[in-house]
Chain A
Amino acid sequence: MSAQDATLGQTGTLALPRKRIRWGEVLVQGILFLAAAVSVLTTVGIVVSLLVPAGEFFREVSPRDFLTGTTWAPLFEPAHFGVLPLVVGTFLISLLSALVAFPLGVGVAIYLSEYARPRAASVLKPALEILAAIPTVVLGYFALTFVTPLLRDLGVQVEIFNALSASLVLGVMLIPTVASLSEDAMAAVPRDLRQGGYALGADKLQVSTRIVVPAAISGIIAAFVLAFARAVGETMIVLIAAGQLPQITFDPRETIETMTAFIGATGNGDVPTGSIEYKTIFAVGLTLFAITYAINLLSIRLVRKFREVYE
């Protein structure tokens, strides 16, 4: 597109008697560039606002204690600043919700792409968007006041605040993300491949699982990684339903605390500026930012590695 524009522009200028700078056009281009620069400034702002207070934090607490410590108790005497309980809490929630969202999301995608009639799919897809649009504070409320009592009625011995309810609801929240990206990838698989499969006597199950899914795998993996990154960064559901008890446990029935829940709960209170408690927000925030950034880079890598190119 841009190459064609360039050639057009060149022939245009050649035809003109003399070259004239159109100041209006230059001005417009400047304004457009400024708008685009806002996003770069945002990133700079985020990095600076995390790094400066986090730097002050690490002057008082050694990064080693922070990254390897197994007790998170910034308000107690003596205070402990081991971030591992928060990291473990975050990954417990993310892995559990991935267990819900990955298979169900791909199931929904295969159904919409391979099984549902086009008219049914055209109704179901927007409905899926509605699920994706539910504000997370409402989902958190639902996890706390509906899912947790339901689990107890079913005989699961969960604490009032527990990782399980939060993960289940978070997992369902992520189904639309996984499904819509996977479905896009499946829709991009050429029809010839499917028809070739059917011509060889494959049934719908075989075509779906041995042709469509492998051909769409790069998109599906991208969907998984993106959904996982969302789970790591999700705040309200875990803040409301999973609690504020930082501990290293792999039992989802227990109360835990994630990095995001700590940031939210501490930032919500009246934290005196400059106190060590205030600075922990930024140290934990920096850790969270680094983890989601790494996951994002990983997703770009994976997509490149597994990409199957069709015409």
Chain B
Amino acid sequence: MTSSRVLKNRAFEAAMLFAMVVAFGTLAVLLVDTLVTGWPQLDAQLFSDSPSTQPEEAGARPAILATLYLGLIVLALSVPIGVLTAIYLEEYADRKRWWNRLIEVNIQNLAAVPSIVYGILGLAFIVRGVGIGRVVLAGGLILTLVVLPTVVVASREAIRAVPDSIRQGAFALGATKWQVVWRQVLPAAIPGMATGSILALSRAVGETAPLIMVGAIVYVAFDPTLLGPYTALPVQIYNWTKQPDPTFQTLAAAGAIVLLAIVLSMNAVAIFLRNRYRKQW
């Protein structure tokens, strides 16, 4: 190789390493900066007290609890609906029918809808449609719709990865269609579905935009209930970010540490599951 060629190759490799450094460097700086800023406020008070106008007395207990409730609602709704939709599309739907193609294209489009638009949907229905109000359940329903396309796409991929020979074998033994799906396809697809569902759930937990539209009052001084007013952890962080008092800024960072801990540990579990149960057929 001529030396100019060597030089060009080196420069190209350096440019790509630069891209890696920007991506991972930013991630590292963000994590360290949040930890360092929020650490002084990351104490028992954050987990035991309610939000307050006095930063020294403010905590995030109701917000953390509400975020856990929201997560449970999303889990309970998005996984069954998402998995059943995926089974329908992969195992039952006849693609020659226009309504099945409609469902498929529709899910693709929904995945590209900005999450704040789901917030508008929620706002419209809460304010003038069904009068359930700005409550935890409403927030959970909206978040379920936000992540549903993700769950469907991941579950479809998991189902598609199950080889056809397994289905054929079960059919040959006289199993009905549902027996094949329930006893053969689903168990084989569970690790993939679990990974996708956990990732979707972690997205729902960190999602802020739809919730600032449909809920989330600033000062909630009591533990949330399913049908009561609430503020979620990401929304609480946002509200603290808006306060001029710098102590609230450190509170926001402390809240961010808690949120990051929840979200990143869910991601770690998902990645672990995927590596552990990666099957070679």
Q: Which residues of A contact B (CB under 8 A)?
A: 1-2, 4-5, 8-9, 12, 22, 24-25, 28-29, 31-33, 35-40, 42-43, 45-46, 49-50, 52-53, 103-108, 110-111, 115, 124, 126-131, 133-142, 144-146, 169, 172, 175-176, 179, 203-205, 208-209, 226, 229, 232-236, 239-240, 260, 263-264, 267-268, 273, 281-282, 285, 288-289, 292-293, 295-296, 300
Give A133's nearest chain B residue, CB to CB. B267
Instruction: Report Cα–Cα, A233/B112, bound state, in Å.
Output: 9
Q: When the two chains form their complex, are residues A135 and B168 in contact, meaning their CB atoms are under 8 A apart?
A: no
Extra pairs beyond A39-B85, A107-B19, A236-B234 (12, CB < 8 Å): A5-B167, A25-B177, A36-B88, A39-B148, A104-B23, A106-B19, A107-B15, A134-B260, A233-B113, A285-B116, A292-B113, A293-B112
Task: Look across to chain A and name the residue whose beta carbon is closest to the beta carbon of B12.
Answer: A205
Instruction: Determine if B112 and A226 form an interchain contact, defined as CB atoms under 8 angstroms apart.
Output: yes
A136 to B92, CA, bound (A): 37
Give the contacting residue for A43; candidates B12, B109, B172, B237; CB below 8 A: B109
> Which residues of chain A have C-beta atoms less than 8 A from B238's C-beta?
137, 140, 236, 239-240
- Contact among A43, A146, A281 for B110, CB-based, below 8 A: A43
Max count, chain B CB within 10 A of own CB: residue among A28, A233, A236: A236
Residues of B within 8 A of A264 (CB): 116, 119, 209, 212-213
Closest chain A residue, CB of each to CB of B26: A172
B87, B213, B237, B267: which contacts A268 (Cβ < 8 A)? B213
Q: How far is the CA of A50 from the CA of B116 in the complex (A)?
A: 12
Closest to A27 in B: B178
Return the contact of A142 from the options B33, B116, B199 (Cβ within 8 A).
B33
A260 and B1 CA atoms in complex are apart in Å by 52
Chain B residue nearest in CB terms to A125:
B271
Total number of residue pairs linking A and B with CB closer than 8 Å: 270
Chain B residues with CB below 8 A from A39, complex form: 85, 103, 106-107, 110, 148-149, 152
Contacts A130-B264, A135-B207, A235-B115; is A24 near B167 (CB within 8 Å)? no
The answer on a CB contact under 8 Å between A133 and B203 is yes
Partner of B9, one of A9, A141, A205: A205
User: How large, as a class, is the contact surface on chain B?
Assistant: 35 or more
Which residues on the A side are within 8 Å of B12 (C-beta)?
204-205, 208-209
Is the Cβ of A293 less than 8 Å from the Cβ of B109?
yes
Q: Is B263 an interface residue (CB 8 A)?
A: yes
Tell me which residues across on chain A come within 8 A of B84, comparing CB atoms: 31-32, 35-36
Cross-chain contact A267 with B256 (CB below 8 angstroms): no
Decide: B212 and A175 in contact? CB cutoff 8 A: no
> B197 near A: Cβ within 8 Å?
no
- CB-nearest residue of chain B relative to A138? B256
Q: Do the beta carbons of A236 and B209 come within 8 Å of each other?
A: yes
| CA A37 to CA B148, docked complex, whole Å | 12
- Provide the B75-92 mask, 1 if CB < 8 A to any CB of A, else 0: 000001100110111001
Complex partner residue of A133 from B5, B107, B264, CB under 8 angstroms: B264
Q: Are B88 and A146 in contact (CB under 8 A)?
A: no
Interface pair B117/A233, CB less than 8 Å apart: yes
**B132 interface residue (CB < 8 Å to A):** no
Assess the B208–A137 pair: CB atoms within 8 A: yes
**Complex Cα–Cα for A127 and B109 (A):** 28
On whether the beta carbons of B24 and A131 are closer than 8 Å, the reply is yes
Stretch at the interface among B41-49, B53-61, B123-131, B222-230: B123-131
Contact of A267 with B212 in the complex, beta carbons under 8 Å: yes
Chain B residues, CB < 8 A from A128: 23
B263: contacting residue among A38, A135, A205, CB under 8 A: A135
Q: Cβ of B85 and Cβ of A2 under 8 Å apart?
A: no
Supposing A141-B252, A144-B241, A293-B109 touch, asked if A42 and B148 sit within 8 A by C-beta, the answer is yes
The chain A residue sitting closest to B214, CB to CB, is A267
Interface centre among B30, B34, B206 (most CB of A within 10 A): B30
Find residues 135-185 in chain B having any chain A CB closer than 8 Å to their own CB. 145, 148-149, 152, 164, 167-168, 171-172, 176-178
Known contacts A25-B178, A133-B267; A33/B117 CB under 8 A: no
The reply on B220 being an interface residue by CB < 8 A is no
B9 contacts which chain A residues (CB < 8 A)? 203-205
Residue of A28, A134, A136 near B30 (CB, 8 A) is: A134
- Give 1 or 0 for each of B247-281: 1 = CB within 8 Å of chain A CB: 00100110010011001100100010000000000
B72 within 8 A of A: no
In the bound assembly, the distance between CA atoms of A103 and B12 in angstroms comes to: 12
Nearest CB in chain B to that of A100: its residue: B22
Docked complex Cα distance between A103 and B22 (Å): 11
CA distance A45 to B123 in the complex (A): 12
Residue contact B148 to A38, C-beta cutoff 8 Å: yes
Nearest A residue to B203 by beta-carbon distance? A133
> With A35-B85, A131-B27, A135-B234 known to touch, is A108 a contact of B208 (CB < 8 Å)?
no
